[in-house]
Structure 1
Amino acid sequence: MDFWPEFLASSWGKEFVAGGFGGIAGIMAGYPLDSIRVRQQSSPSGSALRILRQVATTEGPLALYRGMTAPLASVTFQNAMVFQIYAILSRAFDSSNSSTDPPSYKGVALGGIGAGAIQSIMLSPIELIKIRLQLQTQSEKGPLSVAKNIIKTESWRGLYRGLTITALRDAPSHGFYFWTYEFMREQLHPGCRKNGQESFNTMLVAGGLAGVASWVCCYPLDVIKTRLQAQTPNSIVKYNGIVDCFQKSVRNDGYSVLFRGLGTAVSRAFVVNGAIFTAYETALRVFFNNGDSNTIEKQEALQADNAI
């Protein structure tokens, strides 16, 4: 009975819930664009506008939200854990810094790489189910039904199809992600890394640019990941791993296939990650009930030091 009040009273609890708010805001803001991106990557051709018109005409606008239940149900835990793992690792890689100072940019980048690699373990099955749902022509199956079908036809290992390419994508992309956010918010609002006084506009722009940087640096890997995870036992084209998928994709569609849907992904990334960081930082300020978010920085530093 006393678990939630005690949990929310701790800095870990506040971080967890704030991360959840950030993740939910990101999913709600960018899911339709994500559905269009996945269809662009897995189909032979089609612009974002053409796919949008086709989906809206033949399947209805709500089809763009198909498969959202799977990531939305898990996003609180996933997003919260990523931010907490990042906070811990960024200071672990930069232990020479004072606990009251923000981590160096080197610590930020290394912490992001570590957080991305770890989160790929829990993200890979979720993205597999999401992609299978997004590519359905009709909403005949839910996430649990898709998961059961994967296990039945491809065994338990089938749920982790694409794990290696997910880790290869997420580790460097999260390094760029957190580094870009910390660098850009300091450029837009000098001194804010120390005092935590950045404006909402700074959060939105820095978060949006962080999302764009993380996608641009790893986009070809994401195309390969989508094609591998979209593959089923009944697929016409068979891929025998990352290299085989790369070779067949380039042979059939040219090198441009590796950047198919990039415009949609970048647009979505700016919207989603601006929403994530704004919701996350705002929730922390509300939970700590202090207009001076320097208190938040100190709490996070203490939390990270204790964990180390």
Structure 2
Amino acid sequence: MEEFVASSWGREFVAGGFGGIAGIISGHPLDTLRIMQQSSKTGTAFSILRNVVTTEGPTALYRGIAAPLASITFQSAMVFQTYATLSRALDPSVSPKDPPSYKGVALGGIGAGAVQSLMITPVELVKIRLQLQTESHKGPIDVAKSIIKAEGVKGMYRGLTITMLRDAPAHAFYFCTYEYMKEQLHPGCRKTGEESLRATLVAGGLAGVASWISCYPLDVVKTRLQAQSMHPVPKYTGIADCFRRSVREDGHGVLWRGLGTAVSRAFLVNGAIFAAYEVAMKGLGSRGSVVLADNAIL
């Protein structure tokens, strides 16, 4: 284990896991609210929130957290490791002593998003079913069993195509925004590795906002496709049909329903993810230090 953590691959993997856990814990209530907004036809974020808390209690906002929390360490670790590897491998013209170019960052982000799609599709399918509680389930394992029983193992990957279309380009925006904003907020930090904690939090938050805005209509379609029951017949026959019918029935505004909740959550969650990631990387001895204040360094 010590040899694993001592390696570059191991440090990226462990730090990515810490970042993922921080993001899930901080943002799941707002994620539940976003899913409810996307699947409903009426109601503001506040009215939906008030109704859920009044009728089911505040803990209902954490419904479905077990599935992503159980997988997030490995998932986030793989995403950060894939990004770190591809951002350099796909632009070899940059010296190993210098930070990856923005071209490498974008290409690495696309690759990381594609890898994440393969891991996250079954998890999000189960999470959405639990968050919406379209049927009575005891937990994530019960949901997974019911899906496999009704649709086979391939049913767990319903929504893979739309998830990949969402995540691959969104991660390019995600990592590019983070690297660019971090450098703007703390000039020179990409080369020295000594960014301030404030720069990390703000850059991470803005990266999350940028990535969600870039892919939000696709996320709405994905939620509706994964939330639908396949029996007796599915409501939507595919991505294009879901997009077309959603707009026809609810107007173009449906493609942005819940965006305010999503970007609020994105800023909070991704600030936490990158802060935890960077602090963990420093703690594992991979980079410089995280500057907490003008005279305080971690």
Q: Given the two structures, how large is their TM-score scaled by the length of structure 1?
A: 0.91
State whether residues 15 and 77 of structure 2, in contact with CA within 8 Å, keep that contact through their aligned partners in structure 1: yes
Question: What is the Cα-based RMSD across aligned positions, in Å?
Answer: 1.6
Residue aligned with 1:190, SS: coil
Task: Kindly report which structure 2 residues correspond to 1:147-186, keeping only aligned pairs within 5 A, or say none.
Answer: 147-186=144-183
Give the unaligned 5+ runs of structure 1: 294-308
Matched residue, 1:22: 19
* Superposed displacement of residue 197, structure 1: 1.1
Q: Given the two structures, how large is their TM-score scaled by the length of structure 2?
A: 0.94
Matched residue, 2:240: 243
Matched residue, 2:110: 113
Residue aligned with 2:236, SS: coil
What letter is aligned with 2:242?
A: C
1:256-287 deviations in whole A, cap 9, x for unaligned? 00000000000000000000000000011111
* Superposed displacement of residue 93, structure 1: 1.5
Matched residue, 1:201: 198
Query: Are 2:209 and 1:212 aligned?
Result: yes
1:213-247 deviations in whole A, cap 9, x for unaligned? 00000000000000000011248870000000001
| Distance across 1 between alignment mates of 2:4 and 2:90 | 28
Query: Are 2:86 and 1:56 aligned?
Result: no
Task: Kindly report which structure 2 residues correspond to 1:27-106, keeping only aligned pairs within 5 A, or say none.
Answer: 27-106=24-103
Aligned residues: 290
State whether residues 59 and 138 of structure 1, in contact with CA within 8 Å, keep that contact through their aligned partners in structure 2: no
Task: Give the 3 Å change call, closer, same or farther, for CA 72–188 of structure 1 in structure 2.
Answer: same
| Distance across 1 between alignment mates of 2:269 and 2:97 | 30
| Distance across 1 between alignment mates of 2:164 and 2:288 | 38
| Distance across 2 between alignment mates of 1:268 and 1:280 | 18
What letter is aligned with 1:123?
A: I
Give the unaligned 5+ runs of structure 2: 291-298
Query: Which among 222, 225, 229 is matched to residue 228 of structure 1?
Result: 225
Residue aligned with 2:174, SS: helix
| Distance across 2 between alignment mates of 1:138 and 1:279 | 36
Query: Are 2:276 and 1:279 aligned?
Result: yes
State whether residues 173 and 214 of structure 1, in contact with CA within 8 Å, keep that contact through their aligned partners in structure 2: yes
| Distance across 2 between alignment mates of 1:276 and 1:259 | 24
1:186-232 deviations in whole A, cap 9, x for unaligned? 01111000001111100000000000000000000000000000011
| Distance across 2 between alignment mates of 1:212 and 1:58 | 31
Task: Give the 3 Å change call, closer, same or farther, for CA 11–105 of structure 1 in structure 2.
Answer: same
